[in-house]
């Protein structure tokens, strides 16, 4: 019997993985896997969870949100672990798992993971850390790190919206300088997001992004007048903002530098506190093997985002 390891965060989302644990084990056994389960908490962290990963494991299943997946990817990259990973969407926000097409039902997601061929996917690197979905800075981008875990678990995504409303009195312009070989900007902004995935807060913002094209998608909202910002926000919700980027800077690149003199500005990587500025952000192509994200789906999304002329 083959062997796999399940790493789960019991406090992620609404603790749904605990209710589904027996079902996840059953499905793995159906596919011929012995599943070794590890509960992640303050006393047993990701590094300890991977201490025996080279002892014949076929793959790793991680159940949690984007932050938990980031912890796994960072530890794997640091330790040189190369085995495939499957992602069960069990967090409050599961932006990356949605991008790769994971069903919200954990049983269905588990079936998809075990029946598909692993495919290589890019990750992002911000200074000396890695991320899978988005690195960001500015208004609303640090909402997750400021939201209490108990509040997330009790009211879910609503907690993010309530915490976001608290930031409105601090609505301000921030001066930044962004440089890369593919695009640049110096001036005021409200926020900047650098995507390896597509969504942030369950809103598909970088709808032309591909997680396996060797590129990151940079979206910056300029400090335009509020009357010009409102129509842009409507376009965000409609998924039209990248077609006519008035008030917005958009480009794709494999590396960029973000600088600011604002000492209060913090970066965020997938809902967790990121490195201090300046930020060097680059794409690491084909860095991880992801189970359940089949190439046909990704190719179809690419055709939809960039229709033939």
Which run of H or E residues covers position 213? none
- Taking CA atoms, 173 is separated from 116, 127, 191, 260, 283, in Å, by 46, 24, 9, 12, 28
What pLDDT is recorded for position 156?
A: 44
| Cα–Cα nearest to 9, from 33, 30, 38 | 38
- Is residue 171 located within the same domain as residue 88? no
- Is residue 142 located within the same domain as residue 253? yes
What pLDDT is recorded for position 155?
A: 38
Q: Which residue do the tokens 């500025």 mark?
A: 277
Per-position pLDDT tens, the chain of length 309:
899 999 998 876 567 888 899 999 999 999 999 999 999 987 788 999 999 998 999 999 999 889 899 999 999 999 999 999 999 998 877 899 999 999 999 999 999 999 999 999 999 999 999 999 999 998 755 444 444 454 444 434 434 443 444 554 455 688 999 999 999 999 999 889 999 999 887 778 899 998 899 999 999 988 875 666 677 777 776 777 787 777 889 999 999 999 999 988 889 998 888 999 999 999 999 999 999 986 665 655 544 444 443
In the structure, how many helices (H) and strands (E) does the chain have? 10, 17
What pLDDT is recorded for position 153?
A: 46
3-state secondary structure of 294: coil
- Is residue 148 located within the same domain as residue 49? no
- Is residue 44 located within the same domain as residue 145? no
Q: Are 194 and 227 in contact (CB under 8 A)?
A: no
297 in any annotated domain: no
Please state the length of the chain.
Answer: 309
298 in any annotated domain: no
What pLDDT is recorded for position 247?
A: 83
Cα 30 to chain center, whole Å? 30
Separation of alpha carbons 136 and 273, rounded Å: 10
Sign of CA pseudo-dihedral 82, 88, 91, 97: positive
Beta pairing, strands 119-126 & 129-131: antiparallel
306 in any annotated domain: no
- Is residue 164 located within the same domain as residue 192? yes
Domain of residue 68, CATH code: 3.40.50.10330
Last residue of a domain, one of 55, 82, 115: 115
What pLDDT is recorded for position 82?
A: 92
> What residues have CB less than 8 Å from 254, skipping those under 6 apart?
182, 214, 215, 216, 282, 283
308 in any annotated domain: no
* DSSP-assigned letter for residue 44: B
Predicted TM-score (pTM) of this structure: 0.85
What pLDDT is recorded for position 308?
A: 45
CB count, 10 Å around CB of 76?
Answer: 21
What pLDDT is recorded for position 276?
A: 94
Domain count, the chain: 2
123 in any annotated domain: no
Separation of alpha carbons 11 and 8, rounded Å: 9
- Is residue 280 located within the same domain as residue 148? yes
Separation of alpha carbons 54 and 134, rounded Å: 29
- Is residue 103 located within the same domain as residue 187? no
The residue segments making up the domain with residue 247 are 129-286
| Cα–Cα nearest to 80, from 290, 286, 288 | 288
- Is residue 84 located within the same domain as residue 9? yes
Q: Is 111 left (phi over 0), alpha (psi -120 to 50) or beta?
A: alpha
Domain of residue 141, CATH code: 2.60.200.40
Tokens of 169: 């009195």
């Amino acid at each position: 019997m083959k062997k796999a390891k399940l790493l789960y965060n019991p406090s992620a989302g609404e603790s749904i993985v605990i209710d589904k644990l027996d079902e996840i084990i059953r499905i793995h056994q159906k596919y011929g896997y012995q599943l070794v389960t590890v509960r992640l908490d303050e006393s047993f962290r990701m590094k300890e969870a991977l201490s025996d990963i080279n002892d014949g494991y076929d793959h790793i299943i991680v159940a949690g949100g984007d932050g938990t997946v980031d912890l796994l990817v960072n530890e794997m990259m640091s330790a040189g672990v190369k085995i495939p990973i499957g992602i069960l969407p069990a967090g409050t926000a599961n932006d990356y798992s949605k991008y790769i097409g994971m069903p919200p039902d954990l049983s269905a997601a588990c079936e998809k993971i075990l029946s598909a061929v692993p495919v290589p996917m890019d990750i992002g690197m911000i200074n000396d850390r890695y991320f899978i979905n988005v690195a960001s800075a500015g208004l609303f981008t640090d909402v997750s790190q400021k939201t209490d875990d108990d509040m997330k678990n009790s009211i879910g995504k609503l907690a993010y919206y309530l915490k976001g409303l608290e930031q409105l009195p601090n609505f301000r312009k921030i001066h930044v300088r962004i440089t890369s070989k593919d695009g640049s900007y110096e001036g005021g902004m409200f926020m900047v997001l650098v995507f390896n995935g597509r969504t942030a807060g369950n809103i598909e913002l970088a709808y032309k992004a591909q997680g396996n094209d060797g590129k990151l998608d940079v979206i910056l909202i300029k400090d335009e007048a509020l009357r010009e910002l409102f129509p842009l926000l409507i376009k965000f919700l409609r998924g039209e903002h990248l077609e006519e980027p008035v008030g917005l800077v958009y480009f794709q690149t494999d590396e960029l530098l973000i600088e600011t003199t604002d000492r209060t500005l913090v970066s965020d990587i997938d809902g967790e506190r990121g490195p201090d500025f300046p930020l060097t952000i680059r794409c690491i192509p084909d860095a991880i093997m992801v189970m359940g994200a089949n190439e046909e789906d990704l190719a179809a999304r690419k055709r939809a985002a960039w229709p033939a002329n």
